[in-house]
Chain A
Amino acid sequence: MKRMICIVMFAASVHAETPEQFFDLANQAYQQGMFAEAIEKYEMILQSGLVSGELYYNLGNAYYKAGNIGKAILNYERARRMLPNDDDVLHNLQLVNLMIADRIEPLPRVFLWDWWDGITSWFSMNGITWTMYGVFLLTLVAGAAFMLAPTYALRRAAFIGVMVGVILFVGMLSVFLGKLGDLQRSDIAIVTADVATLKNSPDPKSTDAFVLHSGVKVFITDKVKGWLKVRLADGKVAWIEQNTCEVI
Chain B
Amino acid sequence: MRGVHILFLLCLWGAVSHAQEPSLEASVDKNPVAIDDQFTLSFVLTNAGMSGGKNLKLPNLEKFHVMMGPSTSTSMQIINGAVSSSVTYSYVLQPKEIGTFTIGSASIDIGNKTYTSAPITIEVVKGSPQANQPKGRQGVSGDLDAQLSENLFLRASVDKTRALQGEQIILTFKLYTRVAVQNYNLNKTPTMTGFWSEDIEMPKQVQLTTETVNGKQYQVGVIKRMALFPTQPGTLEIGPMEITTLVTVRDRRSWDPFDAFFSDPFGRQIEYVVKSEPLRIKVDPLPVGAPVSFKGAVGRFTLNVKADRLEAKTNEPISVKVTIAGTGNIKVLESPAIEFPKDFEQYTPKVSDAINRREGKINGSKTFEYILIPRYPGKKVIKPVEFSYFDLGKREYITLRSDEIAFIIEQGAPAAAPFVAATPRTDVQLLSQDVRFIKLSKPAFRRRGEFLHTSPVFVALTLLPLAGIAGVFVYTRRRQEEMRDVVGYRTRQAIKVAKRGLKAAEALLKEILSGKDGSSEKKLQFYAEVAKALWKYVGDKFNIQQADLSIETAVNELHKRAVDGEIAASLRSVLELCEMARFAPTSLSLDTLQKTYDDANKIIVDLERTLKKS
Contact = CB atoms under 8 A, between A and B. Distances in A.
Contact of B446 (A52, A61, A91, A133): A52
Contacts of A126: 452
Which of B438, B440, B443 has the most chain A CB within a 10 Å cutoff? B438
5 contacts: A51-B447, A57-B439, A91-B435, A92-B435, A129-B453
Contacts of B438: 27, 30-31, 57-58, 61-62
B468 A140 contact: yes
B614 interface: no
A130 B453 CA distance: 9
A70 interface: no
Which of A50, A62, A65, A176 has the most chain B CB within a 10 Å cutoff? A50
Sorting the interface of chain A by its residue count into under 10, 10 to 19, 20 to 34 or 35 or more gives 35 or more
A58 B461 CA distance: 34
A84 interface: no
Nearest to B449: A184
A123 to B, nearest CB: 12
Interface stretch (A1-9, A141-149, A212-220, A225-233): A141-149
A58 B91 CA distance: 74
Interface string B454-498: 000010011001101100110010000000000000000000000
A49 interface: yes
Contacts of B447: 49-51
A100 B142 CA distance: 77
Nearest to B436: A88
Given A23-B443, A58-B438, A95-B435, A49 B472 contact: no
Given A61-B438, A91-B436, A133-B461, A49 B448 contact: yes
A240 interface: no
A136 interface: yes
Nearest to A91: B436
A97 B438 CA distance: 18
A202 interface: no
B462 A19 contact: no
5 closest Cβ pairs, A-B complex: A54-B443, A52-B443, A58-B438, A50-B445, A54-B439
A53 B439 CA distance: 10
A58 B445 CA distance: 13
B448 A58 contact: no
B445 A55 contact: yes
B439 A58 contact: yes
Interface residues of B, number: 29
B445 A125 contact: no
Nearest to A149: B476
Contacts of B453: 129, 176
B180 to A, nearest CB: 74
B66 to A, nearest CB: 47
B473 A55 contact: no
B436 A19 contact: no
B420 interface: no
Contacts of A137: 465
A125 B469 contact: no
A65 B436 CA distance: 11
A137 B462 CA distance: 8
B462 A20 contact: no
A166 interface: no
B38 to A, nearest CB: 55
A148 B476 CA distance: 7
B477 to A, nearest CB: 9
Interface string A22-37: 0110010011000000
Contacts of A169: none
Interface string B357-384: 0000000000000000000000000000
Interface of A: 19-20, 23-24, 27, 30-31, 45, 49-55, 57-58, 61-62, 64-65, 88, 91-92, 95-96, 125-126, 129-130, 133, 136-137, 140, 143-144, 147-148, 176, 180
Contacts of A147: 472-473, 476
Given A19-B445, A20-B442, A129-B453, A140 B465 contact: yes
B443 A53 contact: yes
Given A23-B442, A51-B446, 6 more contacts: A20-B443, A49-B447, A54-B444, A55-B445, A62-B438, A180-B451
Contacts of B451: 125, 129, 180
B250 to A, nearest CB: 81
Contacts of A176: 453
B472 to A, nearest CB: 5
Contacts of A20: 442-443, 445
B429 interface: no
Contacts of B441: 54
Contact of A136 (B435, B436, B462): B462
B466 A88 contact: no
Interface in B54-99: none
A60 to B, nearest CB: 8
A181 B415 CA distance: 63
Given A57-B438, A57-B439, A136-B465, A148 B472 contact: yes
Given A19-B445, A23-B443, A51-B445, A64 B435 contact: yes
Contacts of A55: 443, 445
Contacts of B138: none
Contacts of B435: 61, 64-65, 91-92, 95-96
Nearest to A184: B449
Given A58-B439, A95-B433, A136-B462, A50 B446 contact: yes
Given A55-B445, A58-B438, A129 B458 contact: yes
A207 B323 CA distance: 60
A23 B445 CA distance: 10
Contacts of B462: 133, 136
Nearest to B453: A129
A77 to B, nearest CB: 14
Contacts of A52: 443-446
Interface in B20-51: none
Contacts of A19: 445
A143 B443 contact: no
B83 to A, nearest CB: 67
Contacts of A50: 445-448
A91 B433 CA distance: 11
Contacts of A30: 438
Nearest to B455: A129
Contacts of B468: 140, 144
A176 B454 CA distance: 13
A140 B466 contact: yes
Nearest to A60: B435
Nearest to B451: A125
Contacts of A65: 435
Contacts of A129: 451-453, 458
A31 B439 CA distance: 11
B454 to A, nearest CB: 10
Contacts of A140: 465-466, 468-469
B440 to A, nearest CB: 6
A49 B447 CA distance: 6
A148 B473 CA distance: 9
Which of B458, B461, B468, B472 has the most chain A CB within a 10 Å cutoff? B472
B310 to A, nearest CB: 33
Nearest to A129: B452
A24 B476 CA distance: 56
A92 B468 CA distance: 47
B445 A88 contact: no
Nearest to B441: A54
A78 to B, nearest CB: 11
Contacts of A125: 451-452
